[in-house]
Copies of this chain bind each other. A is one copy, B any other.
Amino acid sequence: MSGRGRLPSGQPTIADVARHAGVAVSTVSYVLSGKRAISEVTRNRVLASIRLLGYHPNAGARALASRRANVIALVLPLRTGIQVPVVMQFATAVVTSARRHDHDVLLLTSDEGPAGLRRIAAGALVDGVLVMDVELHDVRVPLLRELGRPSVLIGLPADPGGLTCVDLDFHRAGQVCVEHLASLGHRRVALLGAPPAVYDRGTGFAHRTRAGVLEAAVRHGVDAVALPCAENAAEVQRRVVELFAQQPGISGLVVQNEAAVGPVQTTLSALGRRVPHDVSVVAVCPDQFAEHASPRLTSVPVPAEEIGRQAVSLLMRKLRDEAVPERTLLPPRLTVRDSTAAAPAAAPGDGVAVAVAGEQVVAALDGAS
């Protein structure tokens, strides 16, 4: 018996509360869980004792007896090519939402791999799992099916059968960007995408955006090229210079690469192309980022916070054994800011001038560094 008093840790137990309030242990439990009716008088007496003693239920005991840990796991990626601020925003939203549902969040990094998931799930440390940054052919997808724990994926694997997925509708996002540019009269556009490695490993959002861009381009009679792009200033610059040298008529740019946004603007201005006068730029990036750039960028943000909230809410429903849709794709929202404008009237001479400018820039920067 934990009879007379407090734990070694100094924490009172439910038995202490019961004794202090003059009721049975089970009554205290029911006051806390609300699973049986308790008279107003008794409830108040118990609650008073709880407050007075500073009682907090022991999580382990609760989990053991109730078979629910009230904890969910969040599996975050930590590879290159991820958008760090987006991940943070997302994690934050998940923690906040989870707390609203009276759950805590256990953080896993995907470098422990499938073994980590297995350990956590089998050990009943968590009730459910949120997996972020799911690739098209992700090893964790079959594993999750096998484990049979409630789970929600952020991202869209090639075969989501039997699982639950949430994501921004990147395909639609790509379309929206192109439609915006097309409606402004642009006829040649380019997508400056994620690093090649991201495409190579089959990351859904990159592929889907590209598909959306190209599809919308065809539909609206716009010429479009899509090129991957590493995340460093020099590479971005090379890409952009090359691009305009080869396709001087390009007047619209879709940038899906956070790290590239700054260098793109720098390079364009070095090329003598002004944003948005000569070239319009649409970015797929966080709003905060778009606001801080100059000029402020027309953008399609990844609604990390909403995705996080949705994911948690879906997971909670699964924990309550409710049926949920297999896939939830959030509609993209394009915010027009100062980086897009009507396409310039086509100037035939542009090509040559730009190519020359490009070489000057490259030369200047080579000398400087």
Instruction: Report A's interface with B, CB cutoff 8 A.
Output: 8-11, 54, 56-64, 67, 69, 71, 74, 78, 84-85, 87-88, 91-92, 95-96, 99, 104-109, 111-112, 116, 118-120, 122-125, 148, 231-234, 237, 259, 262-263, 266, 269, 274-275, 277, 291-296, 338, 365, 368-369
Contacts and interface: CB of A to CB of B under 8 A. Distances in A.
Nearest to A233: B294
B71 A106 contact: yes
29 contacts: A54-B122, A56-B118, A58-B123, A58-B124, A60-B60, A60-B63, A64-B64, A71-B106, A71-B125, A84-B85, A87-B88, A88-B88, A95-B109, A96-B109, A99-B112, A104-B125, A105-B107, A106-B107, A107-B107, A231-B292, A232-B292, A232-B294, A233-B293, A234-B294, A237-B294, A275-B368, A277-B368, A294-B365, A296-B369
Given A58-B123, A59-B124, A106 B106 contact: yes
A-B pairs, 8 with minimum CB distance: A60-B63, A56-B122, A295-B369, A232-B292, A59-B125, A60-B64, A107-B107, A59-B123
A188 to B, nearest CB: 22
A259 B61 CA distance: 46
A120 B104 contact: yes
A292 B232 CA distance: 5
Contacts of A277: 368
A103 to B, nearest CB: 11
Contacts of A56: 118-119, 122-123
Contacts of A295: 368-369
